[in-house]
Amino acid sequence: MKKSILLLSALCITLSSWAYDFKSGGIYYTITSSTTPYMIAVSSDNVSYSHYSGSITIPNSVIYNSINYSVTSIGNGAFSECSALTSITIPSTITSIGNGAFAFCSGLTSLSIPSSVTSIGEASFNGCSGLTSITIDPANTTFSSEDGVLFNKDKTMLFYCLNTKSGSYAIPSTVTSIIGGTFSGCSGLTSITIPTAVTSIIGGTFNGCSGLTSITIPSAVTSIGNYAFNGCSGLTSINIPSAVTSIGDGAFLGCSGLTSIYVNNATPVDLSFSYYVFANILGSYTSTCVLHVPFGSAAAYDAAVQWTDFTTIVADVTPVFNAKASNLKITTVNGKAVISGLSQGTSLAVYNLQGAVIYNQQAASETVCVNLSARGVYVVKVGTESVKVVY
């Protein structure tokens, strides 16, 4: 599952890179410019993945049919799944590294990127479980690296995190975007802090982070991509901000440890065109994970595609005032809610957990008694402020 998801985006592009034009010194090449300046890209054969092994040194140039070609790029998926590849030397003529170029090269322990590289594609190093260091030439004006994490030069974009990174990691506050698959396979990470400026969780970003127990999605995030948290089995709770309007396929697939999901938008995100968003959460779909929704929106979620799969949907309300500090006192006795400390004329409403109105009038006195129909959770609203009451 993990490999197929990680390479979904890369494979579509990689397939075209498998057609090579010639082979020289054990390396496959595709001609990218057949006129001056003559250029070629390191490519792959069109038969198998594991065509490269051992130590590879990419030359600056190659002569083919009496023409001297400059090697300027590493194509999409060129070294993908070459598990026997142990080291590679990249020349200073290389300016771009394609999507999935080194994906799943589990024999590869270190990588040095020269100053000439100005473009690195998505999922370039995903699944490189043996990679313990990745360095960028200090003279490179496009990229930088720090403690096993690859950024652009000004650290506004995060490209890749070593699979061997563990413990807690706080993404620098300068980061505004995270490339898809960045933390994929980082099973040793237990906690990740995402900067408040990030507005999108791209597909596969935290795929396979099975050790992750804590993560906070920033309030500015508007979309959660395909398989973004797939396989994050260590998460027990997650909060989906109210700004989120899009959730992709399998976004929480395999998050088998989730016992509660909190959503903050009263209107359910339309999941009609997203598949298996919550599949495999603690057994059969969402049967034992509690969905917490804003007060008054339980019915809407219970009727919405995929959200309705949750057996338990709880409408929550967060108290926005301190009853003691405001002299308001609420007690329950003999099937009644006794609300005291009211100002005459103050609007007072009581709702059950399903959002049905039990009482809605202006307070005629300092104390008001409201009949409760049954034991359960109620919401008392005084003016514009609310508090939850359990009877």
In tens digits, what is the pLDDT along the chain, a chain of 391 residues?
Answer: 444 344 444 333 333 445 789 999 999 999 999 999 999 999 988 666 567 899 999 999 999 999 999 999 999 999 999 989 999 999 999 999 999 899 999 889 999 999 999 999 888 888 888 999 889 999 999 999 998 899 999 999 999 999 889 999 999 999 999 988 899 999 999 999 999 999 999 999 999 999 999 898 999 999 999 999 999 999 999 999 999 999 999 999 999 899 889 999 989 999 999 999 998 775 555 567 888 888 778 889 999 999 998 888 887 654 444 444 467 788 777 788 888 888 888 899 888 877 788 899 999 888 899 998 787 778 888 887 777 777 7
CA-based nearest residue to 103, from 232, 222, 17? 17
User: Do both 302 and 380 map to the same domain?
Assistant: no
CA distance 209 to 227: 11
> Is 53 domain-assigned?
yes
H/E stretch holding 315 reads strand 312-316
**The last residue of a domain, from among 131, 150, 168:** 131
pTM: 0.75
User: Do both 30 and 169 map to the same domain?
Assistant: no
User: Do both 226 and 125 map to the same domain?
Assistant: no
3-state secondary structure 338-356: EEECCCCCCEEEEEECCCC
| pLDDT for res 284 | 52
User: Do both 308 and 164 map to the same domain?
Assistant: yes
> Is 290 domain-assigned?
yes
User: Do both 16 and 111 map to the same domain?
Assistant: yes
**The last residue of a domain, from among 316, 339, 360:** 316
User: Do both 364 and 235 map to the same domain?
Assistant: no
User: Do both 30 and 112 map to the same domain?
Assistant: yes
| pLDDT for res 181 | 87
**The last residue of a domain, from among 94, 114, 131:** 131
User: Do both 265 and 370 map to the same domain?
Assistant: no
> Is 92 domain-assigned?
yes
| pLDDT for res 300 | 92
| pLDDT for res 28 | 94
> Is 191 domain-assigned?
yes
CA distance 143 to 155: 8
Domain count, the chain: 3
User: Do both 121 and 169 map to the same domain?
Assistant: no
| pLDDT for res 200 | 96
> Is 137 domain-assigned?
no
> Is 142 domain-assigned?
no
> Is 143 domain-assigned?
no
User: Do both 301 and 233 map to the same domain?
Assistant: yes
User: Do both 194 and 301 map to the same domain?
Assistant: yes
Q: What is the CATH number of the domain that holds 254?
A: 3.80.10.10
Complete DSSP assignment for 321-390: S-TTTTT-EEEEETTEEEEESPPTT-EEEEEETT--EEEEEE-SSSEEEEE-SSSSEEEEEETTEEEEEE
Alpha helices in 188-297 (DSSP H): none
> Is 145 domain-assigned?
no
User: Do both 212 and 281 map to the same domain?
Assistant: yes
| pLDDT for res 68 | 97
Complete DSSP assignment for 136-186: E-TT-SSEEEETTEEEETTSSEEEEE-TT--EEEE--TT--EE-TTTTTT-
Q: Which domain holds residue 356?
A: 329-390
| pLDDT for res 276 | 93
